[in-house]
Amino acid sequence: MYEKILSPIRVGNVELKNRVIYLAMAKYLSTPDNFVTDRQIAYYAARARGGAGLVIPGACIVDPEYPSTLPMQPGLYDDKFIPGLTRLVDAVHAAGAKIFLQPWHPGVTPYGCKPEDVKQVADWTIDEIHGLQRKFSDAALRIKKSGADGVEFHIAHNYLPEQFAVPLFNKRTDEYGADTIENAMRFSVESLQGIRAACGDDFTIVVKINGTDLTPGGMTPERAAAASVLLEKAGASMITVSAGGGLTDLTGMSSDGHREEGWKVPFAETVKKSVTIPVAATGDIRHPAYAEKILEEGLCDMIGIGRGLFAEPEWINKLSEGREDEMRTCISCMSCFDYCPPGKSGCAVNPLAMRESENTVLKLDGDGRTVAVIGAGPAGLEAAVTLASRKFKPVIFEAEKKIGGMERIGAVPDGKSKVNWHIDYYNKQIERLNIELRLDTKATLEDIEKLNPYAVFIATGSDPIFPSSVKGIDKANVSMIRDVLDDFPDVSGKEVVIVGAGLTGLETAATLAARKNKVTVIDMLPEPNYEALPIDHLLAIGYAKGSGVDVRMSHKLLSIEDAAVVSENMETSESISIPADMVIISMGARSNTALYEQVKDKFEKVINIGDSAAVGKIMNAVQSGFDSAASLD
């Protein structure tokens, strides 16, 4: 089984043991001055140890003087970085994988600077273009000196080489313009030739290219295919096909739950028809059966997985050992886009993502001792699985008839169905580990006492905030957001007002608007600083407004009438009546600590976890459950 995925393949002068690439993802793991860290080494070594044939650390800086740059990425602009890079390369090799590094220049992408501070493609002089190309070849030579197996030249995601490649960014009229494919690819072709001259014929060069930018004037599958012919002639030994970017479509680069698994594969197929070298497909490839299928069908030669291996570093090991049911599957929640400080997980489903340097090893000392776990949301489920893995005997109490807690209703809005994959994971673990699960059972003190538990984990979640003092809040047209999501209404042509512009309110608003309802969202908070918003919230605002939702910040709920909501514009003090057939209250949540307060002094070890300790996202709940269960003594 999975013969295609697990079969070796030759890329240039490099023999890869299987067909899976850990794709470059810019992680903030280097020092501020771009030196490799132990945390970084442990992170990449974990993906290699998990079985990936090829590991590619991304966004390695080639020009630190340029005003736009990503912070805390590996440096390639000076020989002083070679010793640290060598340590990284040696660790990945020791863990069983090959490693390529990815030189990177943002071009017009304004990271950490004003847009007017960066240079447009048309602004570079010919001498400056040649200087840029030397920066890439110098960086590649340092990659070779570090002992890495190859270099990935990055012509994707709207960064500098792709800016030369498409008319959207390239307004030049000389030989580096975008009027012909030969001119458009001249910067990249010459860069590859410079790398080959600097590093020799024995050094492997691969390329990442966009198959589409999802934007007029950007890359298209046909243009990428024509470009790939030139890149193969210039010495590229493999082409990885991606899409989008921060300047065109962010979810084209790393999509959220609105896109289907493997949505970029057709672009790779188009490129593959034009070249003889291996082609790697990307695009939310999550499940082994799907990956095997597209390899068998000849749509691609390799599988590029980024967030899937971030969520499950042991992806290859588990499928090769017949342990697929133990896989954590990425749910495309976008949590990994935000900065993750040391000691915190950067993934909703993997509590140890970016914590690999902590060398966490579960003690198998449970000795069959019973632990009561109250609540089958993500915190309680993660705690139970971790406890069972430690040989404790967890008993889960859940008041609802299904597991999942807030994840179950959080999977309801459009684009959120992949959250169900996480719930599926826990269902499989409950069966695999033979965990006792008592559904439709609201735990009482007496129930817990009957177990005589070694410890009690309280994971009772949160309660929605209910504005009981608002006039008309008890009217028949008013619903709480959780009730709406628990039994989503099949309505259209209605006027709906949602009170609360948080993530859940916005996602629900977009979903109702897509069903041809007129939706207004009000929130008393002022217009947010969009640059500081988490990426999932930023996308939710975009989807809501893109669906026609009227989002009104600085609007306070005053009262609810039979067919309207009355709000106050807090900037003008004006009272406004908004027509409403339905009113949905989504004003956040507070921890439900009732059971914790009741039992905390009744047992020796009582641990409050997840939302019942502090309201947060799935990522916070999972880490809370894991850490508390892993540290139980």
Name the 3-class secondary structure at 282: coil
Instruction: For residue 195, report the phi and psi dihedrals to the nearest 5 degrees.
Output: -65, -40
Among 384, 382, 405, residue whose Cα is nearest residue 395: 384
Distance between CA atoms of 554 and 567, rounded to whole angstroms? 10
Among 365, 398, 356, 401, residue whose Cα is nearest residue 379: 398
Within 8 A by CB and 6+ apart from 521, the residues are 497, 498, 499, 500, 501, 505, 506, 509, 544, 549, 550, 551, 552
Q: DSSP string covering 353-408, please?
A: TT-GGG--------TT-EEEEE--SHHHHHHHHHHHHTT-EEEEE-SSSSS-THHH
Q: DSSP string covering 179-233, please?
A: SSHHHHTHHHHHHHHHHHHHH-TTSEEEEEEES--SSTTS--HHHHHHHHHHHHH
Residue 125, CA distances (Å) to 110, 130, 163, 169, 409 in order: 20, 9, 15, 16, 55
Q: Is the dihedral of CA 48, 53, 59, 63 positive or negative?
A: positive
Which H or E run contains 606? strand 606-608
Among 176, 64, 66, residue whose Cα is nearest residue 127: 176
Encode 526-548: b = buried (16+ Cβ within 10 Å), e = exposed: eeeeeeeeebbbbbbbebbbebe
Among 2, 24, 557, 620, residue whose Cα is nearest residue 282: 24
Which of the residues are catalytic?
159
Distance between CA atoms of 210 and 221, rounded to whole angstroms? 8
Do the bridges between strand 589-591 and strand 462-464 make them parallel or antiparallel, or are there none, so unpaired? Answer: antiparallel
Among 110, 202, 250, residue whose Cα is nearest residue 536: 250
- Centroid of chain to Cα 281: 18
- Centroid of chain to Cα 374: 29
Distance between CA atoms of 182 and 231, rounded to whole angstroms? 10
Among 529, 547, 300, residue whose Cα is nearest residue 414: 547
Encode 273-289: b = buried (16+ Cβ within 10 Å), e = exposed: ebbebbbbbbbbbbbbe
- Exposed/middle/buried for 19, CB within 10 Å: 0-12, 13-18, 19+? buried
- Exposed/middle/buried for 611, CB within 10 Å: 0-12, 13-18, 19+? buried
- Given a contact cutoff of 8 angstroms between Cβ atoms, the answer to whether 43 and 56 are in contact is no
- Return the residue matching tokens 């047992």: 603
- Return the residue matching tokens 């994707």: 156
Within 8 A by CB and 6+ apart from 249, the residues are 213, 214, 215, 243
Residue 552, CA distances (Å) to 76, 263, 350, 459, 522 in order: 46, 34, 36, 34, 5
Distance between CA atoms of 211 and 241, rounded to whole angstroms? 6
